[in-house]
Amino acid sequence: MALPLSPENNLGREEKIEQLERILQSRALQGSESLKAFLRFVVQKALDGQNTNLKEYTIATEVFGRSSSYDPRVDSVVRVQAGRLRTKIQEYYATEGKDDRIIIDLPKGHYYPVFSSIAIKREPLVLAAMQAGEATDAPAPANVLRSSDARAEESPARPASVLTKPAYLTIAALAVLSAALGVAALNYRAKAHSRASQLASLAVASPGLQSWAAPLWGDFLNAPEPILIAYSNTLFRGRAETGMKVLKSYDDAGQTASPVPAAQDTPPAQNGPTITDHYTGVGEVMGVYLLGDFLRGGDHSFNVKRSLLMTWDDFRTDNIIMLGSPAENFLLRDFPQQQDFVFKMLTDNKDKLRYGIANLRSQPGEQAAYMSKEMGSSTSQFVEDYATVSMLKGLDENRRLLILAGITTFGTHAAVEYVTKPEYVKELISRLNTSSDPNKPILPSNYQVLLKVQVKDSIPVQISYVTHHVLD
């Protein structure tokens, strides 16, 4: 039977701090430094009597380092991390803390903690006897608050017949309250145990929670902030009635900062040219789905944004997964980190300009350029593509940028599969491992991987590793 909970004012400050430290040092919060900081902050504020200051804005700026311009309508970091913290607390009390006397909870709806304690077990009161006015020698319930005078000098128990009827009713009410709180405690721990069991089963079934993905995905999954997934959202010039033209205004060097087309690129139109920006490739669509499914398995939140709405501030504040090449993602054309595999216009063996991947630092056995192959003029007739997996640093040293891009949209689809499917992830880690111990792989900080993709009926059917370069 669950033990009843005592009111919060039974607990001293030191007891609460000791319980906080037990949770912070637990396996449930191991490696979750941001969640530890979150819990420590709210408990300390509560102990200092500052519950009214525990607002979303305060936590975002003081715990998660957000600027004074933080807007909770745009950035959900506090709500997301509060949900994760509640789950971890439940996991702790279902496992290591199942015998703890003090419970710290963070109920939904606010960010200030609630403290309660499991009372010391006593013999149950015979409610029927009390209601009938019969004598009983049962001691007072453990969670009945005694005055300081009563604690200082215990007097012998008075005969039950001396107790007045209101005293019986008071004791009965307290006993009922104790039972109710006991049921609440039992329910809390039952839910916590159920949640822990769900997490355990999820860890078996979901790829995002598996240890084999950690060397590749650790920097993303261990960060408290939601991951930003940006899908390519290229500009088209024209209209559906008169014809659409994809805008790829590369200069001779292969890069340009401006998404604005040159005037001579304007296709004929009855009422003048227009620019539309609400199209994306099928590979990017599939990529967003695969990444979302993978990250949900890792119990990690994410946001989705089209690349035309991206700003340089995003690269400073977020861990980003970018889908698509610089042909559609214009900001990537000016990204400062040097790369060995670069998307640009190349000359094929028939002296025609085609979009492909240039190898700027060829190693023995590598080609200087890689291009897609098609069996006709339609994009549905592509049979071979190339793609890159580029792990780079963001504009902030604590941020990461993962670019998954193909020459065509089918290659982008393949690159996402390569970093989310177990068999491909394991292969990639083994190729990049710099550790002498294969059981404890260590990957370079920044690198690019080149992939070859076989395409059939617009579907990537085979993905093969070609080579990789470690970037300085």
pLDDT tens-digit readout, 54-72 = 888 989 888 888 888 888 8
B/e letters for 120-155, b = 16+ CB within 10 Å, e = fewer, are eebeebeeeebeeeeeeebeebbbbeeeeeeeeeee
Q: Is the pLDDT of residue 202 over 50?
A: no
Among 31-40, 263-272, 432-441, 456-465, the minimum mean pLDDT is found in 263-272
Question: pLDDT tens digit string along 448-471?
Answer: 999 999 999 889 999 999 999 999
Number of H helices, E strands in the chain: 12, 17
| Contact predicate 341/359, CB 8 Å | yes
Mean pLDDT confidence for 16-33: 89
Residue 152 has pLDDT above 70, yes or no: no
Contacts of 130 (CB under 8 A, 6+ apart): 136, 168, 171, 172
Confidence of residue 341 (pLDDT cuts 50, 70, 90): very high
The proportion of the chain whose per-residue pLDDT surpasses 90, expressed as a percent, equals 33
Q: What is the mean pLDDT of residues 151-171?
A: 46
Which one is predicted more confidently, 341 or 46?
341
> Considering the chain, what is the average pLDDT of its residues?
77
Sheet of 369-370, strand order: 341-347, 353-359, 369-370
State pLDDT tens for residues 371-412.
Answer: 998 876 655 578 999 999 999 999 988 899 999 999 999 999
Mean pLDDT of 329-334: 86
The domain segmentation of the chain, as residue ranges, is 1-205, 213-234+280-470
Pairing of strands 400-406, 382-393: antiparallel
Q: 161 pLDDT exceeds 50?
A: no
Q: How far apart are CA 64 and CA 62, in angstroms?
A: 6
Does the model's pTM come out above 0.75?
Answer: no
Q: Are 20 and 40 in contact (CB under 8 A)?
A: yes
Q: 74 pLDDT exceeds 80?
A: no
Q: In the predicted model, is pLDDT for residue 168 greater than 80?
A: no
Q: Is 50 helix (H, G, I), strand (E, B) or coil?
A: coil
Closest by Cα among 192, 332, 367 to 257: 332
